[in-house]
């Protein structure tokens, strides 16, 4: 099996799992997986598709600049530049972007702080952090309509081979060394977002949550 086919299958599996979670509303979301390092190429979702559907036109191979690396009628994701920034600056192997109601609410609630901070949750261990009472923080950036501008701002928050950024009233972009790690981190962030939104509502209702 060629490396492209192997990576295609791996990304298709992650895409199906995120689809099963109903995280691809209204064609939103984009995913990618690195295929080669030198030269850098990665498979990225084709733009504008319903990512819940599985077809043989789901992904296309692009280069370090996010341009198609081979002849195709498909258009790479509108947000391919963000993926390219991550692969160009880190050893990440996979990038996942989803829009959920909870990640949008958290991005709006904490936008003025420039980040959202979470602590006191066992699931934080999914980030490989084992200290008691550890806190995790996710930066929140403005949602520029101009993608090169968004990618430049986003690049300021790419600090390692695994990470995540919330784009205000838009969605989350998560990356990891492997597809497994990226998906694990995405699920952990979405757990924390959902927990916090529910917690705030329960607090508001006067229920005894911390």
Tell me: is residue 159 an annotated ligand-binding position.
Answer: no
Q: What's the distance, CA 153 to chain centroid?
A: 16
Shortest Å, Cβ 114 to Zn ion: 20
Q: Determine the Cα–Cα distance for residues 26 and 20; give it in Å rounded to an integer.
A: 15
- When the beta carbons of 36 and 169 are compared against Zn ion, the nearer one is 169
Query: What part of residues 5-44 is at the interface with Zn ion (CB under 5 A)?
Result: none
Q: Which two tokens stand for residue 173?
A: 């972009």
Shortest Å, Cβ 124 to ligand MRU: 27
- When the beta carbons of 75 and 198 are compared against ligand MRU, the nearer one is 75
Shortest Å, Cβ 171 to Zn ion: 5
> For residues 186 and 96, is the Cβ–Cβ distance under 8 A?
yes
Q: Determine the Cα–Cα distance for residues 91 and 164; give it in Å rounded to an integer.
A: 14
Which of ligand MRU, Zn ion, none does 34 bind, CB closer than 5 to 8 A by kind? Answer: none
Site residues (vs ligand MRU, CB under 6 A)? 26-30, 45, 47-48, 77-79, 97
- When the beta carbons of 99 and 127 are compared against ligand MRU, the nearer one is 99
Per-residue x/- track, 158-177, Zn ion (CB under 5 A): -------------x------
Shortest Å, Cβ 33 to Zn ion: 17
Tell me: is residue 185 an annotated ligand-binding position.
Answer: no
- CA distances 116 to 52, 144, 161, 206, Å, are 29, 19, 20, 23
**Pairing assessment for the beta strands 115-119 and 94-98 based on DSSP bridges:** unpaired
For helices 179-204 and 3-20, angle between their N-to-C axes, nearest 10 degrees? 10
Which of ligand MRU, Zn ion, none does 27 bind, CB closer than 5 to 8 A by kind? Answer: ligand MRU
With CA atoms as reference, report the closest residue to 162 among 99, 96, 107.
96
> For residues 37 and 117, is the Cβ–Cβ distance under 8 A?
no
Q: Which residues pair with 35 in a beta bridge?
A: none
Shortest Å, Cβ 97 to ligand MRU: 6
> For residues 24 and 97, is the Cβ–Cβ distance under 8 A?
no
> Residues in contact with Zn ion, total (CB under 5 A)?
1
Residue ranges for the binding site?
A: 97, 99
Contact residues toward Zn ion (CB under 5 A) are: 171
Residue ranges for the binding site for Zn(2+)?
A: 97, 99
């Amino acid at each position: 099996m060629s490396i492209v086919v192997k990576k295609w299958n791996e990304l298709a599996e992650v895409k199906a799992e995120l689809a099963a979670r109903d995280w691809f509303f209204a064609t939103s979301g984009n995913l990618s997986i690195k295929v080669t390092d030198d030269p850098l190429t990665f498979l990225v979702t084709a733009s504008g598709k319903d990512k819940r559907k599985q077809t043989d036109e789901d992904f296309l191979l692009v280069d370090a600049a996010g341009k198609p690396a081979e002849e195709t009628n498909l258009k790479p994701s509108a947000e391919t530049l963000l993926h390219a920034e991550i692969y160009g600056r880190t050893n990440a192997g996979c990038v996942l972007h989803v829009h959920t109601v909870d990640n949008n609410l958290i991005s709006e609630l904490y936008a003025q702080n420039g980040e959202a901070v979470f602590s006191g949750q066992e699931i934080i261990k999914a980030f490989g952090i084992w200290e008691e009472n550890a806190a995790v923080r996710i930066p929140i950036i403005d949602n520029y309509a101009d993608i090169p501008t968004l990618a430049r701002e986003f690049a300021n928050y790419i600090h390692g081979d695994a990470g995540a950024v919330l784009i205000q009233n838009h969605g989350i972009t998560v990356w990891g060394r492997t597809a497994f790690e990226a998906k694990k981190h995405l699920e952990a962030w979405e757990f924390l977002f959902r927990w916090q939104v529910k917690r705030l509502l329960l607090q508001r209702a006067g229920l005894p949550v911390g």
